[in-house]
Amino acid sequence: MADLLTAPLPGDGPIGEAWMLSDRDDHPSCVADGSLQGQTIGQVLEQFPEQVMGTFAGRFRRFPLLLKFLDVREMLSVQVHPTDPATAKTEAWVVLEAGIKCRIYAGLKPRTTKGVLRQALRDGTVADDIACFHPKLGDAVFLPARTIHSLGGGVMVFEVQQNSDTTFRLFDWNHVDPKTGQLRALQVDQALACINFGQCAGGLVAPVVEQTSPVRRERLFHCDYFWLSRVRGESPFTVGATGVPRVLVCIDGQGQLKHAGATYEIGKGDVFLIPAVLGMCTFQPRGPVNVLEIEIPE
């Protein structure tokens, strides 16, 4: 994580999660510089809803997406997210680093029922009933709400999700909470009630190539809550759109974002929210770059 982010990591302990764009009261993102420096994204949206959100102004009480980097050495808990409108969380991952022992669990294996899963919990064999694969650099994984999932073993991912932080743990690999010395709490009944037992897909998606020149643009995710494209190359390319916000995430390389005579440096690990009022901008790479562009579907 320290090699990815420009800001120093806090404290001396291991850091496995960084919230890069968050409109949540417990961890709000702040403007990095300029006349609005220090203001939270929520404060900016309250003052300038049309300028930031464009055609989406008034549709969302908060910025609807939460963006993170995850650096996962041990296995995360086997978990599931609900579909209730207040807490729904569909999410997706783009793999940034993948160690030789890493793995991703996503979706149930065929013919796995609630009864089978309850027995597996008693036997400690839950992992045997979940689709699993060894991810590689650049893999894209889609996780609709109600999909059972986990990851770990030395993998770093970028995560885009609905703006919710509700999670139900089904199994935790017998991890002990270092603060209490006890096994971490589970929410087995809530998790089992959420799981979509008719969904057996493993979650790995195939990129759709939309452009090959002057840069390669691939569509990775195209769901009701977010669209995400990956842009790779060395030539200048256009980002942003008229009347709607976009988010840029630089996952490798560096360059400049240009608009109306203004220039902003952007490098590995940086996240830029392009407000609707700006419209289209030019990304000028300084060597090869790998950039994610995220949009909110209309």
Is the pLDDT at 233 greater than 90? The verdict is yes
For 42-62, write each residue's pLDDT tens digit: 999 999 999 999 999 989 989
The DSSP element (H or E) to which 220 belongs, if any, is strand 216-222
Same fold, 17-23+63-205 and 208-295: yes
pTM: predicted TM-score of the whole model, two decimal places: 0.94
> Per CATH, is 208-295 categorized as 2.60.120.10?
yes
For 77-100, write each residue's pLDDT tens digit: 999 998 777 677 999 999 999 999
Contact 95, 139 (CB under 8 A): yes
Listed by start position, the domains of the chain span 17-23+63-205, 208-295
* pLDDT of the residue at 292: 98
CATH domain 17-23+63-205 topology = Jelly Rolls (2.60.120)
* pLDDT of the residue at 162: 94
Average pLDDT, stretch 242-249? 97
Length of the chain: 298
Contact 135, 196 (CB under 8 A): no
Using the 8-state DSSP alphabet, how is residue 193 labeled? H
Hey, is 122 helix, strand or coil? Answer: helix
* pLDDT of the residue at 201: 54
List helix spans (H) across the chain. 41-47, 49-53, 114-123, 188-194
For 160-195, write each residue's pLDDT tens digit: 999 988 889 999 988 888 788 888 889 999 999 989
* Cα–Cα distance, 194 to 219 (Å, whole number): 29
Look at residues 269, 239, 238 and name the one whose alpha carbon lies nearest to residue 254: 269
Of the pLDDT bands very low, low, confident and very high (cuts 50, 70, 90), residue 125 is: very high
Q: Strand pairing of 246-252 and 289-295?
A: antiparallel
Look at residues 67, 42, 82, 44 and name the one whose alpha carbon lies nearest to residue 196: 82
Is the pLDDT at 121 greater than 60? The verdict is yes
